[in-house]
Amino acid sequence: MIRSVFLGSGSALPSRCVTNDDLAQTVDTSDEWIRERTGIGQRYFAGEGETTSTLAIAAARAALENAGITIADIDLIVLGTCTPDLTFPSTATIVQHALGGSGFPAFDVAAVCSGFLYALTTADAMIRAGMAKKALVIGAETLSRLIDWEDRTTCVLFGDGAGAFVLGAEDATEGEERGILFSQLHADGSHRDLLYTDGGPSTTQTVGLMRMKGREVFRHAVNNLAQVLEDVLEKSGHVPADIDWVVPHQANFRILDATARKLGLPMERVIVTVDRHANTSAASVPLAFDAAWRDGRIKRGDLVVLEAMGGGFTWGASLMRV
């Protein structure tokens, strides 16, 4: 039986760090309000010359180096983003070319903040099906370019960045627990008016700006994430106590805290980077994972669950033995 195993990760942040106090210079807000409601202290914004693809390329290079392989070994790129460089070609093909790759499949998936979970699950399925042996899975975003700076309820929440995993195909003996063990994805389009952009190529011929009903998104996020985590644990034959680390989508500290409480998991086992990175949409899970992988908290053999929820709604979780 073929399994997808984790070979390495990488991440990249833009050069410009913006604190809450910096934002309060131009927006009617305060460091106190943002920290209390969200746990965010700062975020990074892409500057001139920085785009979703430049961040994705930097993260992919770091992941290849971490895995000890080169682009010549890669035969698949799946990239989650809702802020592509261009409407087309896909950002994945821009990344493929920049890294010196060619010929193998490379494509974007659009699932907003769940983009990395959707990309990871797609790459895992293709590896299991024998369609790829080594995959780059990337989450990369420049959400700052969809922000309405007049809307203080959204503009304080987001940041830019990218994260990447290298997955490899491995023969696994039956029962051996290694690599991606179980993933579950969901979508429910009936909630599209709670979180969306008010434009797009086929409607306004613009990219539009982000619109969100924060309270309602919050309520759905906690319920959906707790449910999908419960499902993934149950279906893979695990209980919360087995989990070494939860790597959640970094939307809001209060969502992370409420979800962990529902599952009875202590916050010491939850990776938190929302204070430093804010909500980087599809980039947030691999960015958070990479921070904990590189500082030695996440180790080989650890049982890690990744989870995310975003516009659509879309949501999902993936259980992985590192």
Q: Strand 195-197 to strand 210-212: parallel, antiparallel, or no bridges (unpaired)?
A: antiparallel
Catalytic status, residue 191: no
Active site residue 249: yes
Residue 8 or 159 having the CB closest to ligand ACO: 159
Task: Name the percent of the chain in helix, strand, coil, to the closest 5.
Answer: 40, 25, 35
Say which of 20, 224, 252, 279 is annotated catalytic: 279
Element (H, E) at 9: strand 2-12
Smallest gap, in angstroms, from Cβ of residue 241 to ligand ACO? 26
Burial of 204 (C-beta count, 10 Å sphere; 0-12/13-18/19+):
exposed
Report the distance separating Cα 196 and Cα 90, nearest Å: 21
Q: Which is nearer to ligand ACO, 29 or 121 (CB)?
A: 29
Q: How many CA within 13 A on the CB side of residue 57? A: 17
The residue ranges that bind ligand ACO (CB under 6 A) are: 29, 33, 37-38, 113, 152-153, 156-157, 195, 212, 214-215, 217-218, 221, 249, 251-252, 279, 309-310
* Residue 214 beta carbon to ligand ACO: minimum distance, rounded to whole angstroms: 3
Specify the residue, 4 or 318, whose C-beta has the smaller distance to ligand ACO: 318
Nearer to ligand ACO, 37 or 262 (CB): 37
Amino acid identity for residue 188 in this structure? D
Q: Do 277 and 43 contact (CB within 8 A), yes or no?
A: yes
Catalytic, out of 113, 155, 191, 277: 113
* DSSP 3-state of 27: coil
Residue with tokens 């029962």: 175
CB nearer to ligand ACO: give 9 or 252: 252
In the bound state, the residue with its beta carbon closest to ligand ACO is 214
Shortest Å distance, C-beta 157 to ligand ACO: 6
Q: How far is the CB of 237 from ligand ACO (least distance, A)?
A: 28
Report how far apart, in Å, the C-alpha atoms of 53 and of each of 230, 239, 262 are: 35, 38, 37
The least distance separating ligand ACO from the CB of residue 248, rounded to whole angstroms, comes to 9
Task: Pick the catalytic residue from 20, 249, 252, 277.
Answer: 249
Active site positions, annotated: 113, 249, 279
